[in-house]
Amino acid sequence: MDFQDVDIHDFIRYVGEMTGKNFIVGPNVKGRITLVFPNMVPMEEVFSVFLSVLEVHGYTTVEAGSVVKIVPSTAARSKGVETGFMEKSGTAEDKFVTKVLYLNYLSSDDAKTMLTPLMSKDSSIVSHPRSGTLIVTDYLSNIERLRRIIEAMDVPGSREEISVIGD
């Protein structure tokens, strides 16, 4: 895989041929890419590399039956992106997904405040205090990072107010 300043549509066509996936490319998907891999990319990693290239250029995929739509990341939040729960996914791909993150001790509003600066520019986060959950739409690779932060912060005592000596 070695592409020097090629049209992104040519790259998409190449990946389609390599993976057998059918793509529908949105009208706003434009640009040129450069991809330099001095070593062979194993066939099972081609699609992951493809997702990373799209992410770098501000695009993502949305699966719809037997086709994969390629759209700007900003538009993906309102599309039918894959939805799942907080458990570890096993992969950290650069595809756009929605995950429900359950909290045990940390308030969802506090968690949202803490995580918002760590999210990508095209993502969204919704706090639902009554159920103690967050609904996060972002790249899976980033949600995996946020999940690890939640695991570290969501501990007994995290909802208690910290008083300053002298108050």
What pLDDT shows up at residue 55?
85
Q: What are phi and psi of 126, to 5 degrees?
A: -125, 130
pLDDT band for position 120 (cuts 50, 70, 90): confident
pLDDT band for position 6 (cuts 50, 70, 90): very high
In the chain, DSSP assigns E strands to 2-7, 22-25, 32-36, 59-64, 67-72, 82-85, 96-102, 124-128, 133-139
Give 81-90 pLDDT, tens digit per residue.
555 555 555 5
The pairing of beta strand 124-128 with beta strand 133-139? antiparallel
Lowest mean pLDDT among 8-17, 18-27, 74-83, 127-136: 74-83
Helix (H, G, I), strand (E, B) or coil at 107: coil
Give 30-72 pLDDT, tens digit per residue.
999 998 887 888 888 888 888 888 888 888 888 878 888 888 8
Q: Work out the mean pLDDT of the chain and round it to a whole number.
A: 82
Domains of the chain: 2-76 (3.30.1370.120), 82-153 (3.30.1370.120)
Distances (CA, A) of 72 to 43, 53, 57, 120: 25, 13, 9, 13
Helix (H, G, I), strand (E, B) or coil at 127: strand
Q: Is the confidence at residue 158, as pLDDT, over 80?
A: no
